[in-house]
Chains A and B, each alone.
Chain A
Amino acid sequence: MRVLAIESSCDETAVALFDGRSGKLLAHRVHSQTDVHAEYGGVVPELAARDHMRRLPSLTRATLTDAGVGYDAIDAVAYTAGPGLAGALMTGAAFAKGIAASRRVPALGVNHLEGHILAPLLGDDPPAFPFLALLVSGGHSQLIEVREVGDYRLLGESIDDAIGEAFDKSAKLMGLGYPGGAALSRLAEQGDPTAVPFTRPMVNRPGLDLSFSGLKTAVANAIAAGHAHEDVAASFERTVIDTLVIKLTRALDQTGLDRLVVAGGVAANRPLRQRLVEMMAERGGAVHFPAIELCTDNAAMIALAGYRRLAAGERDALPGFRVRARWPLAELELPRMLDSAVPVTP
């Protein structure tokens, strides 16, 4: 079963083609809209939707050309149905449904967060179920117990800013532009991570929730107090990582899990990767990351998540489509076969 996937939940337009039988990603392309939104200092939803529409046809054509196949090779279409920006989601969903309907193949709306946490399954070292997932991006910071595909329990999440958001906002305070999270991390390499004694948020409270808006304020104060930007950046990054290590240790102890999956844009952060590798080695467990290029939003992960459900016989319940700006992972269910659907051989 070859699945074409379309992702358009925020400011990346992405298309992928995945072959379920071989488990191989045949091709995937991502177009980032960063330039469209940079001058506004954040993602403008209407501009995002407009740009998705401009990019989708050529990006899809290029992806199929990369894979060396035509539309007749597509057995099913998966698309991101949420969570995300409603207008942006609608554009990709309508486009995907048009392809699926006209080729008479099944379609399925996929949860973007499920895509992220299953992304490491596309790698050479896929994790076995169950595992603990840390989802860290510009929009989400969650700790999730993953029993199997479709069985998710939210253990904790940020009560305010997402981690990626805290990186980007702190970067903005340092004049690193938008989105500046990655630039902040590069600047941090030159700084002293012990120079500014930031408080690690929420670590003295029980539970697994996170909070980063206070840290962002502390960054503003540290800059105002005259600390060198590279020292503030290094201290900020160290504080975030320390906090995550404390919460992850707690979550692993609580659940008894010994496998950790880290996904989302912030999973590309090298110091974070290194610390989590060390942490899991000390615990005698293992940590799995997606390939760097599959940490940020992409359609490969949507293709994989879609495939796992489509192959089980799951289909869109509606002939039309619905998108959900909010769609918590915990609401997902195991892949289910519609009464009318005929299972497709993988």
Chain B
Amino acid sequence: MNILYLDSSTEACTAGVLAGDRVVTDFEIAPRGHAEKLLPMAEGLLEQAQIDFADLDLIGFGRGPGSFTGVRIATAMAQGIAIARDLPMVGISSLACLAAGAFRRLEESGENTRDVEVRVAIDARMGEIYRAAYRLGELDGLITVVEEAVTEPTFPVAQGSRVVACGTGFGRYPALGGGSEVIRVEPEALPHARDALALIRKLPESERIAADEAVPSYLRDKVAGR
């Protein structure tokens, strides 16, 4: 199974290639350089993994929420590759990707992840955040405990005894990461392709979509005044 993943939904530009069992990824903070960086990054990774676009089986894309333009750059580029190579696509939530990264870092530092709730918040500007919260389920799959939404900077009462607060929303609203149950705050965390590829590998085939259906989840839909 060969997968290319593209994500430019946040300040980070990140891409990854899964070639058989080998994973290669790249990550760069480039708030305004997504258009220039993402494609060369992807091509570099394919070269590193010694495969070509023609060898791919699946295209993953960061479907947001995040910067509208950033989300569209990765999604549209992925759509172009998918239709020209007749490939299925799979969209990964930037919030789920961040949560997967937070769980990975917990494990890497030897912490128990079982009763942890990872709260993810991305600064959505205009006094709001994109938020969601997750726990780890069977086979390390993410279980959503707070659905994705754009809201005022608040979270419902936690469902775990320990909370990890992850994402730029906690940098913008530090009080949001307060509370006795919070064991770790990661206010500078950004989505990384390695976590997205790990999520894609766990997804069932039924999650695959055609390029026509590959639409971002903007969450904020009130974008025009009447």
Instruction: Given A57-B83, A90-B69, verify A102-B53 contact (CB < 8 Å).
Output: yes
Name the prevailing secondary structure of the B interface residues.
helix
A86 at the interface (CB under 8 A from B): yes
Choose among B68, B84, B86 the residue that contacts A87 (Cβ–Cβ < 8 A): B68
A97 at the interface (CB under 8 A from B): yes
B36:A322 contact, CB within 8 angstroms:
yes
Instruction: Given A104-B53, A319-B40, verify A98-B226 contact (CB < 8 Å).
Output: no
Minimum CB–CB distance from B12 to chain A (whole Å) comes to 16
Binds B, one of A38-46, A213-221, A286-294: A38-46
Contacts of B79 in A (CB 8 A): 53, 56-57, 95, 98
Binds A, one of B142-150, B152-160, B209-217: B209-217
A87:B77 contact, CB within 8 angstroms:
no
CA distance A94 to B82 in the complex (A): 12
A50:B85 contact, CB within 8 angstroms:
no
* A-B pairs with beta carbons under 8 A, tally: 116
Instruction: Given A97-B80, A320-B40, verify A40-B224 contact (CB < 8 Å).
Output: yes
**What is the 8 Å Cβ interface bit string for chain B, positions 27-61, against chain A (1 contact, 0 not)?**
00000000111111011000000001100000000
| CB within 8 Å of A: which B109-143 residues | none
| CB within 8 Å of B: which A124-167 residues | none
**What is the 8 Å Cβ interface bit string for chain A, positions 32-62, against chain B (1 contact, 0 not)?**
0000000110001011011001101110110
| CB within 8 Å of B: which A315-339 residues | 318-323
B218 at the interface (CB under 8 A from A): yes
Minimum CB–CB distance from A209 to chain B (whole Å) comes to 33
A95:B77 contact, CB within 8 angstroms:
yes
Choose among B53, B72, B85, B212 the residue that contacts A90 (Cβ–Cβ < 8 A): B72
Number of B residues contacting the other chain (C-beta, 8 Å)? Answer: 38
B14 at the interface (CB under 8 A from A): no
Instruction: Given A94-B76, A95-B80, A320-B39, verify A101-B226 contact (CB < 8 Å).
Output: no
CA distance A90 to B77 in the complex (A): 10
Can you name the residue of chain B whose Cβ is closest to the Cβ of A6? B80
Minimum CB–CB distance from A107 to chain B (whole Å) comes to 10
Contacts of A54 in B (CB 8 A): 212, 215
Contacts of A58 in B (CB 8 A): 212
Choose among A44, A53, A97 the residue that contacts B72 (Cβ–Cβ < 8 A): A53
B212:A57 contact, CB within 8 angstroms:
yes
Minimum CB–CB distance from B89 to chain A (whole Å) comes to 10
**What is the 8 Å Cβ interface bit string for chain B, positions 190-226, against chain A (1 contact, 0 not)?**
0000000000000000000011101110100001111
A108 at the interface (CB under 8 A from B): no
Choose among B42, B43, B69, B76 the residue that contacts A86 (Cβ–Cβ < 8 A): B69
Contacts of B78 in A (CB 8 A): 98
Choose among A61, A86, A102 the residue that contacts B81 (Cβ–Cβ < 8 A): A102
B39:A97 contact, CB within 8 angstroms:
yes
Instruction: Given A53-B75, A104-B53, A321-B35, verify A99-B83 contact (CB < 8 Å).
Output: yes
> Which residue among B36, B43, B75, B79 has the maximum number of chain A CB atoms within 10 Å of its CB?
B79
CA distance A93 to B75 in the complex (A): 12
Instruction: Given A40-B226, A60-B83, A320-B40, verify A98-B77 contact (CB < 8 Å).
Output: yes
Q: Using A53-B79, A71-B83, A320-B35 as known contacts, list a sample of 14 further A-B pairs with CB atoms less than 8 Å apart, ordered by residue number in A.
A: A44-B223, A47-B223, A47-B224, A57-B212, A57-B214, A87-B68, A91-B72, A94-B73, A94-B76, A95-B77, A101-B81, A103-B53, A104-B52, A322-B35
Between A and B, 11 residue pairs with Cβ closer than 8 Å are A39-B226, A40-B224, A53-B76, A90-B72, A98-B78, A99-B83, A101-B53, A102-B80, A103-B84, A320-B40, A321-B35
